[in-house]
C-alpha cells in the first residue's frame, strides 16, 4: 500500500473533490443529440445568411441596412415563436450614414480604373471633382509644421495619404488557417490592449484629426487613403468617430486599394503628374440618433427559475465596403440559428433564454456596454442593479466564420471544469479547449466587467484577419456554412445546458473598470 504524506494527501483530496464536482454536471446528451441532428438535417443558416448580408446590405449602425437586417431578424424570430422581439433603445448614438453615389478614376497620365470605397460618414464632393494628386504620408499628416510649410502644394489637390511603404511585404503564407491542437493548448490573451496602448491610440487619432483639418484649411479638395495594408484587391474600410454630430466636418475621403496607391506613387516619383476624378455622395440620417439593439426571448418554464436569464449574442452592425458577412454577420447568423433550433425543438428551458444582436460594436462595443449599464450595472462606478443577480451567463461569437474550437474562460477557474465536461460530446467536431486566457474587443467584455460570466468562443481564424475583417471582401461568399452549422450546434447546446443546470454558473469577483471607448 502506498503511503501519502499530509501535503500529498491534501493535494489528492483537492483533486478528487474537483473531479467529483465536474462529474456532478448532469449533461443532457439527449437534448444535445436532438440539436445536432436537427441542425445537420434542416439547417436554416444559408437562408439567414442570405437575408442578413445580400438582402440587407451593409449594416452601419443607424443606417437603413442595419434597420433592414434588424426588422428581418425580429419578424423571423416572431415567426419561430420567440417573444418580446423588437428593437430596444440603449441611449444616444449619433448619425447614420449610407452611400448613395461613388465613383473614382484616373484621368492623367491616362484614363484608368481605380478601386476604392468612400469612408463612412465622409462629407460629400460638389458633384465629380477633378484635381492633381499630392502625396502626404501618415507621419507628415501628424506634423503641423510640415503641412504649414507645404500649404501651397496642398491647395487645390487631392491628397494621397500613404504609409510610406512602396510595395507589399513578401507573403508566402496561406490566407486561411485552422488552429492546431498545440496552438489551442497555449492560447494567449488576444485582442487585449493596455491602458498605455489605448492612450497612445487616442493621441494618434487626435493628431490625425488635426492634420485633416489643416488639409481642409489649406484648400485641399479631397483625401484618398492608400496606406498599403491590403493586398490582392482587398481594401480595408473602417471609420473613425464621425458618427457623432459634434465632430468637425472633414474633407471628402475614400480608401483606395494598395495596388492603385502604389501605382500612383510610382508615377509621381518618376515625374509623371497624376490627376484623379472622384464623386462621393452619402446621406446622413439624423431624425433618430438613439442606438438600438435587437432582442427577443424564449420564456423559461420552471416556476422558480424562469425569472433568471441566459443570454447569447453577437453584433449585427458592420462597416460599409461589403455586407459584413464574417464581421459579424457570422455571429448573428449562428445566434439566430441557435434560438431557432431551441424553440423549434420545444426543449422547454427552465430559465429564460434571451438573444441580443448589438449595434455600435464597431464604434466601441457601445450597444452591449449600454445594455449592461441599463440592465445590470455600471462597471465604472461598481454600482450593480438587481437584474445582475438573475443572469447566469452571456455567450458571444465574433471572430469570423470559423468553427468553434473552444472557449475563453476569461480567468474564471471555477467554470473551466464545467465547460470541459460540456465540450466532451463535441470533441469529435474539433471543440474541446477551455482556455483561462482573456480575449477582448467584443461584446462579452461589458458583461465580464459587470461581474457577469461573459464568454467568447475560440474559433478557427481561417482568412478572417488576412482577407475579410473590415474589408470589401467581407461577403457571403467567404462564409463557411459547415463551420457555422457546427457553431450553432455548440452554442445552442451550451445555452440550453446553462438554462437547465440547477445553479447559475460560477462568477468571478467584479472588477471596477473604466470604459475606454465611450465618449471618443
Separation between Cα atoms, residue 75 and residue 266, nearest integer Å: 53
**Residue 177: DSSP 8-state:** B
Percentage with pLDDT > 90 across the chain: 83
Quick one: 296 and 444 in the same domain?
Answer: yes
Quick one: 163 and 310 in the same domain?
Answer: no
What is the mean predicted confidence (pLDDT) over 41-49? 98
Lowest mean pLDDT among 166-180, 337-351, 441-455, 477-491: 166-180
In a domain, 16, yes or no: no
What is the mean predicted confidence (pLDDT) over 23-31? 90
Q: Is the preceding peptide bond at 328 cis, omega within 30 degrees of 0?
A: yes
| pLDDT over threshold 50, residue 14 | no
Prediction pTM value: 0.93
Give counts: helices (H), strands (E), the chain.
15, 18
Residues across the chain: 520
pLDDT of residue 515: 52
| pLDDT over threshold 70, residue 194 | no
**Bridge partners (DSSP) listed for residue 116:** 256
Q: Which residues contact 457 (CB under 8 A, 6 or more apart)?
A: 395, 396, 397, 399, 404, 406, 407, 408, 487, 490, 491
* Domain CATH code at residue 424: 3.40.630.10
Tell me the pairing of strands 309-315 and 391-396. parallel
In a domain, 351, yes or no: yes
pLDDT band at 5 (very low <50, low <70, confident <90, very high): very low
Number of domains in the chain: 2
| pLDDT over threshold 90, residue 230 | no
Separation between Cα atoms, residue 112 and residue 135, nearest integer Å: 19
| pLDDT over threshold 60, residue 379 | yes
Quick one: 382 and 349 in the same domain?
Answer: yes
Quick one: 475 and 333 in the same domain?
Answer: yes
* Domain CATH code at residue 163: 3.50.30.30
What is the mean predicted confidence (pLDDT) over 348-371? 97
Q: In terms of Cα–Cα distance, which of 135, 153, 142, 435 is closest to 267?
A: 135
Q: Which three cell numbers stand for residue 342?
A: 431551441
Q: Which three cell numbers stand for residue 289?
A: 440618433
In a domain, 8, yes or no: no
Quick one: 266 and 300 in the same domain?
Answer: no
- The residue segments making up the domain with residue 194 are 101-283
Quick one: 67 and 106 in the same domain?
Answer: no
Please report the beta strands in 365-417, taking only residues with DSSP state E, as ranges in sequence order.
377-378, 383-384, 391-396, 404-408
pLDDT of residue 191: 84
Quick one: 433 and 491 in the same domain?
Answer: yes
Residue that the C-alpha cell 470533441 belongs to: 427
Quick one: 73 and 192 in the same domain?
Answer: no
Quick one: 279 and 292 in the same domain?
Answer: no
What is the mean predicted confidence (pLDDT) over 379-390? 93
| pLDDT over threshold 80, residue 286 | yes
**What's the angle, vertex CA 220, arms to CA 214 and CA 222, rounded to 5?**
110
Separation between Cα atoms, residue 10 and residue 3, nearest integer Å: 13
Residue that the C-alpha cell 440587407 belongs to: 56
Residue that the C-alpha cell 496561406 belongs to: 174
pLDDT of residue 512: 61
pLDDT band at 511 (very low <50, low <70, confident <90, very high): low
What is the mean predicted confidence (pLDDT) over 382-390? 95
In a domain, 2, yes or no: no
Lowest mean pLDDT among 8-17, 122-131, 440-449, 481-490: 8-17
The last residue of a domain, from among 283, 307, 327: 283
SS3 at position 254: strand
| pLDDT over threshold 90, residue 397 | yes
In a domain, 291, yes or no: yes
Tell me the pairing of strands 454-459 and 404-408. antiparallel
pLDDT band at 216 (very low <50, low <70, confident <90, very high): very high
Q: Which value, to the nearest 10 degrees, does the dihedral of the CA atoms of residues 502, 505, 507, 513 take?
A: -130
pLDDT band at 22 (very low <50, low <70, confident <90, very high): very low
pLDDT band at 165 (very low <50, low <70, confident <90, very high): confident
SS3 at position 332: helix
| pLDDT tens-digit series, residues 96-151 | 999 999 999 999 999 999 999 999 999 999 999 999 999 999 999 999 999 999 99
What is the mean predicted confidence (pLDDT) over 304-309? 98
Quick one: 189 and 334 in the same domain?
Answer: no
| pLDDT over threshold 90, residue 19 | no
The last residue of a domain, from among 246, 264, 283: 283
CA atoms within 13 A on the CB side of 87: 16
What is the mean predicted confidence (pLDDT) over 201-206? 84
Quick one: 341 and 316 in the same domain?
Answer: yes
Tell me the pairing of strands 383-384 and 377-378. antiparallel
What Cα–Cα distance (Å) separates residue 82 from each residue in 299, 337, 512, 513? 8, 12, 35, 34
Mean pLDDT for the chain overall? 92
Quick one: 51 and 169 in the same domain?
Answer: no
Q: Which residues contact 91 (CB under 8 A, 6 or more apart)?
A: 290, 291, 370, 374
In a domain, 463, yes or no: yes
The last residue of a domain, from among 283, 318, 352: 283
In a domain, 14, yes or no: no
pLDDT band at 229 (very low <50, low <70, confident <90, very high): confident
Separation between Cα atoms, residue 44 and residue 48, nearest integer Å: 6
Q: Is the preceding peptide bond at 319 cis, omega within 30 degrees of 0?
A: no
In a domain, 308, yes or no: yes
Amino acid at each position: 500500500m502506498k503511503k501519502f504524506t499530509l501535503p500529498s494527501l491534501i493535494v489528492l483530496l483537492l483533486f478528487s473533490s474537483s473531479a467529483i464536482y465536474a462529474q456532478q454536471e448532469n449533461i443532457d446528451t439527449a437534448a444535445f443529440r436532438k440539436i445536432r441532428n436537427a441542425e445537420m438535417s434542416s439547417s436554416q443558416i444559408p437562408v439567414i445568411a442570405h437575408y442578413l448580408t445580400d438582402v440587407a446590405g451593409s449594416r452601419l449602425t443607424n443606417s437603413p441596412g442595419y434597420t433592414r437586417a434588424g426588422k428581418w431578424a425580429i419578424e423571423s424570430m416572431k415567426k419561430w415563436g420567440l417573444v418580446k422581439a423588437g428593437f430596444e433603445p440603449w441611449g444616444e448614438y449619433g448619425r447614420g450614414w449610407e452611400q448613395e453615389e461613388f465613383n473614382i478614376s484616373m484621368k492623367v497620365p491616362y484614363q484608368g480604373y481605380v478601386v476604392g470605397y468612400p469612408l463612412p460618414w465622409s462629407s460629400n464632393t460638389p458633384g465629380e471633382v477633378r484635381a492633381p494628386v499630392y502625396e502626404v504620408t501618415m507621419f507628415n499628416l501628424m506634423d503641423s509644421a510640415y503641412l504649414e510649410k507645404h500649404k501651397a502644394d496642398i491647395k487645390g489637390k487631392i491628397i494621397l495619404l500613404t504609409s510610406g511603404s512602396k510595395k507589399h511585404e513578401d507573403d508566402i503564407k496561406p490566407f486561411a488557417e485552422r488552429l492546431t491542437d498545440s496552438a489551442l493548448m497555449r492560447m494567449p490573451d488576444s485582442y487585449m490592449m493596455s491602458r498605455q496602448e489605448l492612450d497612445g491610440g487616442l493621441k494618434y487619432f487626435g493628431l490625425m484629426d488635426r492634420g485633416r483639418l489643416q488639409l481642409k484649411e489649406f484648400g485641399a479638395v479631397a483625401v484618398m487613403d492608400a496606406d498599403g495594408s491590403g493586398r490582392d484587391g482587398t481594401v480595408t474600410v473602417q471609420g473613425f468617430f464621425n458618427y457623432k454630430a459634434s465632430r468637425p466636418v472633414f474633407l471628402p475621403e475614400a480608401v483606395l486599394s494598395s495596388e492603385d496607391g502604389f501605382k500612383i506613387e510610382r508615377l509621381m516619383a518618376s515625374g509623371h503628374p497624376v490627376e484623379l476624378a472622384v464623386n462621393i455622395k452619402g446621406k446622413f440620417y439624423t431624425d433618430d440618433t438613439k442606438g438600438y439593439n435587437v432582442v427577443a426571448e424564449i420564456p423559461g418554464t420552471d416556476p422558480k427559475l424562469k425569472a433568471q436569464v441566459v443570454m447569447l449574442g453577437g453584433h449585427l452592425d458592420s462597416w460599409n465596403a461589403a455586407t459584413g458577412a464574417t464581421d459579424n454577420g457570422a455571429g448573428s447568423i449562428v445566434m439566430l440559428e441557435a434560438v431557432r433550433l431551441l424553440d423549434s425543438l420545444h426543449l422547454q428551458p427552465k430559465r429564460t433564454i434571451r438573444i441580443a444582436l448589438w449595434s455600435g460594436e464597431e464604434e466601441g462595443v457601445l450597444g452591449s456596454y449600454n445594455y449592461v449599464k441599463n440592465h445590470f450595472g455600471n462597471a465604472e462606478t461598481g454600482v450593480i442593479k438587481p437584474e445582475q443577480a438573475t443572469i447566469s451567463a452571456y455567450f458571444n461569437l465574433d471572430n469570423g466564420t470559423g468553427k468553434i474550437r473552444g472557449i475563453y474562460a476569461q480567468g474564471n477557474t471555477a467554470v473551466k471544469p464545467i465547460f470541459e465536461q460540456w465540450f466532451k460530446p463535441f470533441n469529435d467536431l474539433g471543440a474541446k479547449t477551455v482556455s483561462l486566457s482573456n480575449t477582448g474587443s467584443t461584446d462579452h467584455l461589458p458583461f465580464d466587467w459587470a461581474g457577469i460570466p461573459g464568454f467568447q468562443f475560440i474559433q478557427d481564424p481561417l482568412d478572417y484577419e488576412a482577407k475579410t475583417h473590415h474589408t470589401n471582401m467581407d461577403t457571403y461568399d467567404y462564409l463557411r456554412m459547415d463551420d457555422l452549422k457546427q457553431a450553432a450546434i455548440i452554442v445552442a447546446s451550451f445555452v440550453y445546458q446553462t438554462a437547465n443546470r440547477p445553479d447559475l454558473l460560477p462568477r468571478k469577483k467584479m472588477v471596477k473598470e473604466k470604459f475606454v471607448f465611450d465618449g471618443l
